[in-house]
């Protein structure tokens, strides 16, 4: 800046990018970047056939009676397993 030159900064927040990534798109991109055969199959097995659920628990009153609602498992088609990035 002292020499009157341009200063440019580009900042990208990609922290949630893997949460919405379609598995098929990921595999196609990896293939186009040269990640093929066994390595691509490894990524496919890592991202495929995964499921998740959300459990809701509620404590009521002084008796600490716990009510639970656990829905059925849902297959994931986007994102990666939590804590895996």
d(C-alpha 55, C-alpha 38), whole Å: 36
Query: Do the beta carbons of residue 64 and residue 57 sit within 8 Å?
Result: no
Average pLDDT of 15-39? 82
Range of the domain at 54: 17-75
d(C-alpha 39, C-alpha 46), whole Å: 11
Domain for residue 84, yes or no? no
Domain for residue 1, yes or no? no
Pick the closest to residue 30 from 16, 44, 19 (CA basis).
44
**Residue 55 CB-half CA count within 13 A:** 5
Q: What is the pLDDT of residues 38-83, one digit of tens each?
A: 988 988 887 777 777 777 766 666 665 666 666 778 877 777 666 5
How many domains are contained in the chain? 1
Domain for residue 9, yes or no? no
Kindly give the residue spans of alpha helices, DSSP state H, lying in 2-85: 23-32, 37-47
Domain for residue 27, yes or no? yes
């Amino acid at each position: 800046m002292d020499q009157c030159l341009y200063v440019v900064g580009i900042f990208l927040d990609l922290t949630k990018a893997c949460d919405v990534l379609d598995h098929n798109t990921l595999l196609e991109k990896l293939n186009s970047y040269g990640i093929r055969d066994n390595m691509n199959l490894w990524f496919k097995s890592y991202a495929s056939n995964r499921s998740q659920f959300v459990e809701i628990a509620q404590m009521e009153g002084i008796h600490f009676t716990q009510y639970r609602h656990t829905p059925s498992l849902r297959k994931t088609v986007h994102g990666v397993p939590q804590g895996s990035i």
